[in-house]
Chain A
Amino acid sequence: MTPRPEFGDDVLTAYLDDEASDRDRAEIDAARRLDPTLDDRLRRLEIDRAAIGAAFDGLLNAAPAAPDLPSIPKRGFVADLVDRRAVAAALIGGILTAGGLFGASRFLAPPSGNWQDQAVAYHALYVTQTLTDVQTSPVDTEVQLRRVSDALGKEIPASSITGLAGLSFKRAQVLGFEGRPLIQIAFLADQGAPVALCIYPSGQSGVDMGVSGDWAMAMATVEWARAGFQYLLVGGRDQEHLRRVAQELSATL
């Protein structure tokens, strides 16, 4: 091996810090045997790392006390729900006006008082950026789905949620409507549209209902009901896709 004639201070620094690549290390070792001036250059770069470490350690004792931190998330469940309902109401007001002016029908229908319409209004506030930065690890996915399963009283296994065609799981959260849990599981579709699966207990009077599609607030929706729970998929414009996802979910949930 022919040593390089010159090594930069950055490479020599990495050598001293034991961070040089194997190749650089071998070349410097070889060059040191041939060129004694290289040791002089290394000596000129030498520092007392222990002394620097001790000086920095001394600073830790000078640090002030940590500030008081909130013990619960600042925007907790209740505040979140109230705020978003207020924003949703404002949005819906705007849509009502537009509907009156331009004769928009069910496609832009505002929510009535049922849980599905409230869930649709809530989801209408989602944009792609709401979810793009949400990264949920497999462990957090398990934790979130355990939390929503406990709240709902029904097992929502990760295997049913994380492998859905064309949808990337983002997060699962417990909302509430009229004293009962309303589960919202958010996804991003491959095309970037936010999609939500909402689940609500239908109570003792609930009857099973097959998959049916509709539109609300300019978004595709698909609903079904089974074994005491009602399901709603909402988001984007690809209703056929939502129907396929609904078939998949109704087979596994």
Chain B
Amino acid sequence: MARSKGSWDTVREGIPTLYPRLWRLCLVLSGTPDRAADLAQAVCLRALERHHQFQPGTALDSWVFRIAQRMWLNEVRSDAVRKGSGLAPVEEIDLVDPRPDPESNLFSREVLSKVMSLPEAQRVAVLLVYGEGYSYREASMILDIPIGTVMSRLAAARAKLADGIKPQEDSGL
């Protein structure tokens, strides 16, 4: 019988690949690159400590993201809010748009700036559903909230984003 990888190996080997996405989530949660790096590192260590709770064969990214969300809400957020350092401007983040032309890079900065100015709960829902491509159900499980709350957060985000981030092509509506 071929042996399957245990939870330690799966988590240990999966984290480096996952790390940029984890850092991005931590950035969207915490609002600044420094806090994102601290939070992401703490999440990695917590995930390794709790590797036995991970079931190989299930999605590692959602499991790690769930840890990040809980650590931010329960352990880190209050401290960050107390220190009152607020959100970092998007200009301070070394953003590189995968598309080659400078115009699209500028547009991406504008888009990101609008998204990052949303309230925390809304911008995280936007990242998970529109950035990561999770379904509403998957996002609700990561955030530990009902699907209806994901819907209402996305609706509120859309109402605020729709002014500047309209589709360029006719959607048929």
A binding-site residues for B, Cβ under 8 Å: 8-14, 16-17, 19, 39, 42-67, 69-71, 73-74, 133-135, 137, 139-140, 142-143, 146, 171
- Inter-chain CA distance A46–B33, complex, in Å, is 30
A11 with B151: CB separation less than 8 A: yes
Is B135 among interface residues, defined by CB-CB distance under 8 A?
A: yes
The one of A17, A44, A62, A66 in contact with B93, judged by C-beta atoms closer than 8 angstroms, is A62
Q: Helix, strand, loop or mixed for chain A's interface? A: helix
A48 with B165: CB separation less than 8 A: yes
A48 with B167: CB separation less than 8 A: yes
Q: How far is the CB of B131 from chain A (nearest CB, A)?
A: 3
A74 with B27: CB separation less than 8 A: no
A61 with B96: CB separation less than 8 A: yes
B155 with A13: CB separation less than 8 A: yes
| Interface range on chain B (Cβ under 8 Å from partner) | 35 or more
As a 0/1 sequence over residues 93 to 117 of chain B, the CB contacts with chain A under 8 angstroms (1 = contact) are 1111111000011011101100100
- Inter-chain CA distance A43–B94, complex, in Å, is 33
A66 with B6: CB separation less than 8 A: no
Q: How far is the CB of B117 from chain A (nearest CB, A)?
A: 13
Residues of A within 8 A of B16 (CB): 66, 69
B44 with A17: CB separation less than 8 A: no
- Inter-chain CA distance A61–B105, complex, in Å, is 13
Q: From known contacts A46-B171, A59-B95, infer whether A51 and B162 are also in contact, taking CB-CB under 8 Å.
A: no
A52 with B130: CB separation less than 8 A: yes
A140 with B93: CB separation less than 8 A: no
